[in-house]
Amino acid sequence: MIVYFAAAACAVGVVVVASRLVRRTRGVDDPDPDGPTTAHTGAMLSALFLLAFAIAVVVPWTSADAARSNTYSESQAVAEAYWAAGRLPAADAHRVQEGLAAYVDLVRGPEWRLMKDGRLSARGWAELDRLRRDVIAIKADTDELKDARNGVLDHLGEISAARRQRAMDARTTPPPGLLAVTVLTGIVVVLLPFLAGARPRGMTLVPLALMAALLAAGTYLTIDISHVFAGALAVGPEAFTAVHADLQRVAGGG
């Protein structure tokens, strides 16, 4: 962050030095609000705001799409593990399937609310670790049972990998500096006519106020969608809700 402030300070210094050097030449004074200096500055500030705004929208949108896809991958791995567990001995199969159903209930309920704060529940990790230990402890006397046990372990590994990715997605946000630049450039774009010495009156205030309102709404949007599991683009637990219904159907013999 210090580097950013240092770069900004250097840029201001360049402007001050350049203005003093130009005074010694035959440069033309430019005090008018609609002069070339204001026009150039306004165009560059608008371009900077649009660039920051576009990045602040595209990055969260892409992250949300990837996170949503990952939730379906994780839920699909749960369903495959549930089916694979059916090949285990009856008592072991029932225990593993119950654990998977409990995991789905945890994720789509309490854990999803925690993800809005960028974290996952420790209970979810503990549940997966317990399931893995239980499956490893199953005695496999035949090749068929070994294949069944290994199949369940493979799917549990897929669930763990997808869960780790979901943990990363929950902590993913655009760089704070990007949001700060978006807000600051939006404010400066709105205030630029006043800073340049213009005094809008009457109907000229209408388009200025409209622009300010739209910029404020757009800037708030970039902040609102900055978190994958909260805000306007929030990824919901639909994937786990759907797999919960599938597990109930399989358990009921459907």
Condensed to tens digits (0 to 9), the pLDDT of residues 46-83 reads: 888 888 889 888 988 999 999 999 999 999 999 999 99
Residue 15 has pLDDT above 80, yes or no: no
Total domains in the chain come to 1
Determine the pLDDT at residue 169. Answer: 93
* Residue 13 domain flag: no
**pLDDT tens digits, 197-239:** 778 777 878 888 888 898 899 889 888 988 999 988 899 999 9
Most confident of 5-14, 103-112, 225-234: 103-112
Determine the pLDDT at residue 206. Answer: 84
Range of the domain at 243: 35-251
* Residue 225 domain flag: yes
The pTM score is 0.79
* Residue 6 domain flag: no
Least confident of 154-158, 195-199, 243-247: 195-199
Residue 38 has pLDDT above 80, yes or no: no
* Residue 18 domain flag: no
CA distance linking residue 77 with residue 66, whole number of Å: 17
* Residue 4 domain flag: no
* Residue 30 domain flag: no
* Residue 103 domain flag: yes
* Residue 77 domain flag: yes
